[in-house]
Amino acid sequence: MSAGSYLNWIVESTKTAWWHDSADPVELKLGLDRGAVGVTTNPFLSSVALAKHRAGWAEEVNSILARTLSAEQKAEELMRLVVTRAAALFRPLYDRSEGSAGHVCAQVNPSRAGERNVMLAMARRYHAWAPNIAVKLPAVSAGLDVLEDCIAEGITVAATVSFTVPQAIAIAERCRAGRGRAKSRGIEPGKCFAVVMIGRLDDYLREVASDNNAAATESDIRQSGLAVTKRAYRIYQERGYEAVLLVAALRGDYHLTELAGARLLMSIAPAAQEWFIARDHPREERIEKPIPSDVVERLSTMPEFVKAYEPDGMTPRDFISYGVAQRTICQFIESGWKILENLT
């Protein structure tokens, strides 16, 4: 990474750090060299990495395929192969930082988003893979129950399928409850990363605006995820939450530049990293710069934005039925987990 790049400035000069958004081992090494302090994976990214490097992993893959496993067990084992390679690469950083950095996500089966016992059992298995695994759980009612239990047991988690202020608050509150339970039992609580899939919210609201002939403009839509993230961040700072916001699914350089200076994590894919290496941007902290009130007013003509923006816009029982949550869960299933299940 160029010493003068914007990404370098973020790492060296602000409170914002970033994770590498890929499971590809070659890209992971590049991300580590560029200053990534963690790794985001999901079933889709795991399947892509496996397909690209199938020849190099042939012995391990063939060993898994030769075993008598259910489709779900096979997918889990294949994902374990990919994720543990990434965890080994980032393990030295985890050790040097005494566990404050170097985490790698491993996502539970998205088909099981409503099944508490199944997700908790998976989380415990994943936790045993490596000390720097962050178990990725859906930020829906069942997933939040499991999240609290995991933190109480000392298991680090990342809450995904999360797009809204109510979800960010619910994650932080369940994290706090889990920490209290852990400490009462003399256990070191697990860490908690609260994802905001900023670009996926923009994508969803763009379709809502078009379908409803809403007053919101394209410029407004591009600020919707930013408005949600800035509000969630402000609440986190005011309440002193222990969970750490992790902003993912960037759709443009503005998703980083307008949050610069925040004490949070950004998940940045290799292609998006080039936005901040090949091009320069104004080097100023903008997290405290508010979204214009007229933009929020136009966006608020859409009930789906209000659900995402207002702290009480939804309750946990509503999270799984929020439109973009359903879409994302389906994509994780169809474009990732099922591909691993059907691998031959």
Please give the full DSSP string across 67-117, using - where no structure is assigned.
S---HHHHHHHHHHHHHHHHHHHHHHHHHHTTTSS-EEEEE--GGGTT-HH
pTM, to two decimals: 0.97
What pLDDT is recorded for position 4? Answer: 83
Are 1 and 66 contacting, i.e. CB atoms less than 8 angstroms apart?
A: no
Supply the DSSP symbol for 216.
-
96-129 tens-digit pLDDT: 999 999 999 999 999 999 999 999 999 999 999 9
How is residue 22 written in tokens?
């890929």
Q: Which amino acid is at 264?
A: L
Q: Which DSSP string do the residues of 38-75 spell out, in sequence order? A: EEE--HHHHHHHHHHTTTTTHHHHHHHHHS---HHHHH
278-327 tens-digit pLDDT: 999 999 999 999 999 999 999 999 999 999 999 999 999 999 999 999 99
Q: Which fold has domain 6-341?
A: TIM Barrel (3.20.20)
- The mean pLDDT value of the chain amounts to 97
Q: Which amino acid is at 246?
A: L
Q: Where are the beta strands (DSSP E) in the chain?
A: 17-21, 38-40, 103-107, 133-138, 157-160, 192-197, 244-248, 265-268
Tally Cβ neighbours within 10 Å of residue 268. Answer: 27
- Per-residue pLDDT for 216 more than 80? yes
